[in-house]
Amino acid sequence: MAHANRLAHEASPYLLQHAENPVDWWPWGPDALSEAERSGRPILLSIGYAACHWCHVMAHESFEDAETAAVMNERFVNIKVDREERPDIDQIYMAALHATGEQGGWPLTMFLTGTGEPFFGGTYFPKDSRFGRPRFVDVLTAVSDSYRDRTDLIADNVEAIRQRSTAIQDPGELPDDAPVRAARQLLSLTDPDNGGMRGAPKFPNGGFFELLWRGAARTGEPEFRDAVLTAMNRISMGGIYDHLGGGFARYSVDQRWHVPHFEKMLYDNAQLITLLTDSWCVTGDPLFRARVEETIGWLTREMRMDGLFAASLDADTEGEEGRFYVWSKAAIADVLGADADLFNAHYDVSEDGNWEGTNVLNRLAETGLGDEALEAALAVSRETLFEARERRPAPGRDDKQLADWNGLAIAALAHAGAAFERPDWCDLADTTYRTAKARFSGGDRLIHAVRGDSRLDQAFALDYAAMIHAAIGLYAAGIGSQDDLIADAVTWVDALERHHLAEHGGYYWSADDAPALIKRPDSPHDEAVPNANGLMVKNLASLWAITGDDRFEQIAKRILRAHGRLAATNVFACASLFNGMDQLQRLATVTTTNASTLEAAVRRSGHPAALVLGSTPQSNPAASQSLDAGQAIVCRAGVCSLPIGDPAELRTRLWTPN
């Protein structure tokens, strides 16, 4: 190693990407903050993640440049943070950037006082002035000079950012119809042709689509369902999907889902597996089945390691975004020969290309899969191209394993396995859960991340919420020991209550015994993953139904009350809270007697709030009902159906609004 800074001793693949920079990087910690206080220099905090394209661009332009690094080293204490390892740090300083009026994104570049208080920031700064952004060295010089000479200005900036980034948690009750109101508001923002939010870029936001799906179940109005199905179709046919290797990219830069930002994240694919499974359950569309099968195939082939799933695949190879994934017409002809014309006609391949002179494979000109003979022929060509692509330099893999993202993946696999009646997927969900429980557990507490023998012992609220979600997902799918799964979930609820409870009734991101930051973040806003507060409301609603313990209902209502007013002002950012509230109000429990066919029908119904009970608590009115073998009862909000013996009738009952 020609040069090694302090990051060489870290476990994070993102931090290790910067271990040979000439920048004198520090990892986040008390030593770095002490150095800033001792030296009187401000802190330059750079936050990113391993798969981030613009993080790589800024690194290549500035952090690998000796002249830029010299300015950074002379004038700043430079701290590098992996946002996936430390989402609490990222949340605090991203909120600070938003408070300055700037749009967020990564890399996040914030300038802090020696005590960690932010006073200025941005995202990507170019080495040379472009995109309307100033030259990075000019920014460094101006900030450093101001910190030395304009202490009054720095103090004013610190106070202004502190005030603007401190959300007032004013508890308030949401009205009973808040979930459907929220769903209608989101529906008004959807793109009727392409699905998702109008405009570009387009993100496959799981909470957004789930709330629309719940709107369909709650009202019976087809517009909600159609909005989700349109999006799932276009996403499945678009370039955001990897048509050769499976799996979805993080987002598309255009409004048609055509050109992706090529990184693949575990959390996106987990949430899309669930949405596509429900879409298939309702429509039977073979497109949705194919995308679920192919995406799970990608997970097991490329992301599986040490019994868990890795975090992400990079957007870049050989210094170019998307280089691994795109094709020229000539390259396809070289590989496919006489079959190239058929393939090109269906995957939008041309001589001039459909993106920057090359081709992003997509089938957006079509509304769905073709006939069996066509799809068989295209499958052969795809496999041939895949094998050729495997000889290219592969994108880097961030091989750390995160408790929260693995929890989401486990729940998705269990859901898909039960719906498609795939024992192999059910087994994968079960074995991954048992590995996750073993590797992320420490007594009754969890940790956040592992990589080889390295552990990040601090856990965040979402780690607990996602692992509880995984346990409930396995329970709902009829996988594993139901008593053990619920015992795990209750243990982790208790840990959240002891260590993460905020004064207003929601959950802090970090625990009460975690190393102190300038504040404990407690935002209820979703990001690309659901917020812990919203996911916990949904979890608690299910635990209440499963156990009959009213404590779980009371906690769920407390969380909703804590964040009610804030959620009402920003429905899109708080979709998971409304999804949880809908689960609390509309959960349909199904009690059966020797009726495996009916249980399978529930798990294949696509209904977002249907749950087969392994045993019925005495508080559930179904407990007093007498059922013959092969019958089921559906109970919702204390009202139960007559016994049902027909799967189609049971499905109709679940989807009937009331």
Dist CA 549 CA 594 (whole Å) = 25
Please report the DSSP string for 184-226 in residue order. Answer: HHHHTTB-TTT-SBSSSSB---HHHHHHHHHHHHHH--HHHHH
Span between the terminal Cα atoms of the chain, in Å: 66
Average pLDDT value for residue range 125-153: 92
**Which run of H or E residues covers position 497?**
helix 482-499
| pLDDT for 237 beyond 80 | yes
Dist CA 16 CA 7 (whole Å) = 6
Tokens matching residue 606: 């696509």
pLDDT at 272: 98
Average pLDDT value for residue range 210-222: 98
Q: What is the pLDDT of residues 552-590, one digit of tens each?
A: 999 999 999 999 999 999 999 999 999 999 999 999 999
| pLDDT for 52 beyond 60 | yes
| pLDDT for 78 beyond 80 | yes
pLDDT at 167: 65
| pLDDT for 74 beyond 70 | yes
Dist CA 66 CA 480 (whole Å) = 56
Q: What is the pLDDT of residues 462-508, one digit of tens each?
A: 999 999 999 999 999 999 999 999 999 999 999 999 999 999 999 99
What is the model's pTM? Answer: 0.97
Strands 77-82 and 25-27 turn out to be: parallel
Closest CA to 362 of 353, 371, 372: 353
pLDDT at 1: 46
Q: What is the pLDDT of residues 85-110, one digit of tens each?
A: 999 999 999 999 999 988 889 999 99
Average pLDDT value for residue range 282-295: 98
Dist CA 45 CA 305 (whole Å) = 31
| pLDDT for 134 beyond 90 | no
